[in-house]
Amino acid sequence: MLKQLERVFVGSEGESSKVVVECPLADVEQLAVAVAPFLNPGDWIFLEGDLGTGKTTLTQRLVDALGGADALSSPTFPVVHSVRLRDPRTRIQKVCHMDFYRLKSAAELSFLGIELEFSSDSICIIEWAELIDAAGWAEFFQRTHCRKPKRLFKMAIATLALHANQRSYSLEQQDIFEVLGITKNSV
């Protein structure tokens, strides 16, 4: 699994690589421990999946693997939840966890304070990011001057049809310019 993950996280710019990992939901901690060393400050991860597939559980395990000392709860109602990391072995000092499930429009992004949470030493994990299109992201970045991600990854989580506790995790690096509707000059 580590070699597969390395292709996604360390692959050459413009090179598209996709990894699909299947495992029981109970083993998501092992996946998080495998992914954590590949994350860098400035990374954004978009988590996609139906309700109840384990997006928040995966985020909790990633925070644990990165050295989070505080418990992470679902940010469905507060929308944004940040956790400081206390592990001196990682350059990542904060995880910003967001859940856009309740957003009614992309315009609401400008009122969440994301730009205040996301810093050069943090990563951002966003559930339901697919609800915001490229034009909505572009408007958000233009309006707030939020720090743009250095890398963007999408992880789609699906429950396997015949096994309610078995999940498929599909991970791939995304083109930040295409997905977020920003120009190369604005990074």
Instruction: Provide the residue range defining the domain that includes 163.
Output: 2-9+19-186
Q: What is the pLDDT along the chain (187 residues), one digit of tens a residue?
A: 666 777 677 765 555 678 888 888 888 889 999 999 999 999 999 999 998 888 988 999 999 999 886 666 665 556 787 888 877 777 899 999 999 998 888 888 888 888 888 888 999 999 999 999 999 999 888 888 888 898 999 999 988 877 778 888 899 888 888 888 876 655 5
Instruction: With respect to residue 14, please indicate whether it lies within any of the assigned structural domains.
Output: no
Asked if 171 and 19 count as a contact pair (C-beta separation under 8 A), the reply is yes
Tell whether the torsion through CA atoms of 140, 144, 149 and 154 is positive or negative. Answer: negative
The CATH number of the domain where 25 resides is what? 3.40.50.300
Q: pTM of the prediction?
A: 0.86
Taking each helix axis from N to C terminus, what angle separates 28-35 and 55-65, rounded to the nearest 10 degrees?
50
How many domains does one find in the chain? 1
Distance separating alpha carbons of residues 129 and 178, to the nearest angstrom: 14
Instruction: With respect to residue 67, please indicate whether it lies within any of the assigned structural domains.
Output: yes
